[in-house]
Amino acid sequence: MPNTEKRFKKGEIICRPKEMVMSMYNILYGSVGIYFDYGTPEQVDVVTLREGDFFNVISFLESRQRNTTAVALENTIVSEITYDNFSAYFREKPAKIMSLLQHMSARMRQMQKAYVDTCHALELCGDKEKLAAEHGDWVESHNRTYNLLRAMFPTLYHEEERKAQELCRAESDPQTAMLNTTAAERPQ
């Protein structure tokens, strides 16, 4: 298998939005920042990835344009995995398959939690009747998703739910009377 290592200097852009990068990367040394709107006043730091982490996985697997910028936060070495060397790479490094799956699982869990927490905060602090009237299907779908994830990962959601309830109580909004209901008491 040909050498798949690439080196990037601190501050060097590895991938840009709207690029069709037909590779995914595994960080061998250094760290990579992932950003929305990189270099603009609206810049959002998405995540900092370190040695062992993968990036550009979704774009690679789905043959889609990137929507974020990847920047070397320090001198960084990555292993580039392309369609041409994909099978050989994982055949030579079978432990990397589990590493990639664990990385993807962790990212999915983070995204699920962020989604559920945001939806739950809206549900707790928002106008429930208006939410239901304007987005009834969404509310039903969210409740099913929230309850499923809460059942699968109870310790993950208990503390966040308590914090969201305290936040709404602190706002002393009359609608927060519904906060005394538990997730199990909410309509499914």
Q: Is residue 10 part of a domain?
A: yes
User: CA-CA distance, 97 to 89, in Å (whole number)?
Assistant: 10
Which is more confident, 131 or 156? 131
pLDDT computed for residue 32 by the predictor? 97
pLDDT computed for residue 13 by the predictor? 96
pTM for the full model? 0.64
pLDDT computed for residue 11 by the predictor? 97
Let me know whether 43 and 117 are in one domain. Answer: no
Average pLDDT over residues 166-172: 59
User: CA-CA distance, 149 to 172, in Å (whole number)?
Assistant: 29
Indicate whether 145 pLDDT > 50: yes
Let me know whether 41 and 80 are in one domain. Answer: yes
List the domain range (segments joined by +) for residue 168: 107-185
Let me know whether 136 and 56 are in one domain. Answer: no
> Percent of the chain, pLDDT > 70?
69
Which is more confident, 42 or 127? 42
Q: What is the CATH number of the domain that holds 60?
A: 2.60.120.10
Q: Is residue 68 part of a domain?
A: yes
Let me know whether 44 and 77 are in one domain. Answer: yes
